[in-house]
Amino acid sequence: MCQMFAGQAQSNYEFQTRSLRLNGQCTSVRLEKKFWDILDEIATGEDTSTPLFISTLHSEVVSLHGEAKNFASLLRCTCLVYKEKQLTV
């Protein structure tokens, strides 16, 4: 039953840490490689760089809701929302 999931490449869920600036402050974000791939895809579709996309997303979230309690989780959910939208189009 789970072969489709268990058999995936281990590289999909290895962590990658990327350094970037959020509102002028240096920080690092640690996500699974697969999520970075999707964020890169989203940024390309928006005709921007991944760090700029993430920084813009962070600014918009802070403006709407205040500081995100778990920004890495927000990025993962962003990827899920993006993929769900692709399925419905």
Spell out the domains of the chain, with CATH numbers in brackets: 13-88 (1.10.3990.20)
CB atoms within 10 A of CB 79: 19
Cβ contact 42:23 at 8 Å: no
**pTM of the predicted protein model:** 0.91
For 8-28, write each residue's pLDDT tens digit: 999 989 999 999 988 888 999
Q: Residue 78 is encoded by which pair of tokens?
A: 């962003």
- Is the pLDDT at 38 greater than 90, yes or no? yes
pLDDT at 89 over 90: no
Contact residues for 71 (Cβ-Cβ < 8 A; gap 6+): 29, 58
User: What is the percentage of the chain residues whose pLDDT exceeds 90?
Assistant: 79
